[in-house]
Amino acid sequence: MVKIAYLPLTLEEFLELPETKPPREYINGEISQKPMPKTRHSRLQSKLTSTINTVVEEGQIAYAFPELRCTFGGRSIVSDLAVLRWNQIEFDDEGEPVDDVFIAPDWTIEIISPGKSSNRVIGNILHCIKHGSQLGWLIDPYDRSVLIFIPNQQPELCQVSDSLVVLDGIDLQLKAEEIFGWLKMVSSAT
């Protein structure tokens, strides 16, 4: 995460700035740019988005948005994946989702990339939990682990064949090894 030197801005002033790629976040009065995702990060983000939405979209249970800006509790953060329950998604008169989200995601998912500060990312997950998120995942593709955050509980480290907790009401069973198996895109030669 790269800190960017700006004149002090309020959250409202920050939200008036044009969006950037990679996105910037506003945390504790500071503006930081997220690092550009690497291949493993992008692969996991894409597969998780597809896997979750395959299970939840048709029944209008929830929706997983990649790189969705959520502004709440004095911060404006961009989770790698923000899952919102369908009834939490605000729609316009045409039935399309509105662009600005001012609530914590129901489930926030972050994927560690080189250059990302684990503590800063965990801080964002904890901020989400404090402001209403029901679940947070921190995925580390380098040590093949998923750290799970649930309100009022100790974080749980999941690896290999450990089953991963998903948002209540979502019929999805995943093990850590399944997620990290998605990284393998070419079968080994025999």
Phi, psi of 129 (to 5 degrees): -60, -45
Residue 14 lies in a domain: no
Residue 133 lies in a domain: yes
Tens place of pLDDT per residue across the chain (190 aa): 445 545 688 898 888 898 888 888 888 888 888 878 889 999 999 999 999 999 999 999 999 999 999 999 999 999 999 999 999 999 999 999 999 999 999 999 999 987 677 898 999 999 999 999 999 999 999 999 999 999 999 999 999 999 999 999 999 999 999 999 999 998 876 5
Residue 135 lies in a domain: yes
Residue 46 lies in a domain: yes
The two structure tokens encoding residue 94: 């045409």
Residue 57 lies in a domain: yes
* Cα 126 versus chain centre, distance: 12
Residue 80 lies in a domain: yes
Domain count, the chain: 1
Which CATH number is 105's domain given? 3.90.1570.10
Residue 62 lies in a domain: yes
Domain residues for 133? 36-181
Residue 18 lies in a domain: no
Is the CB of residue 107 less than 8 Å from the CB of residue 136? yes
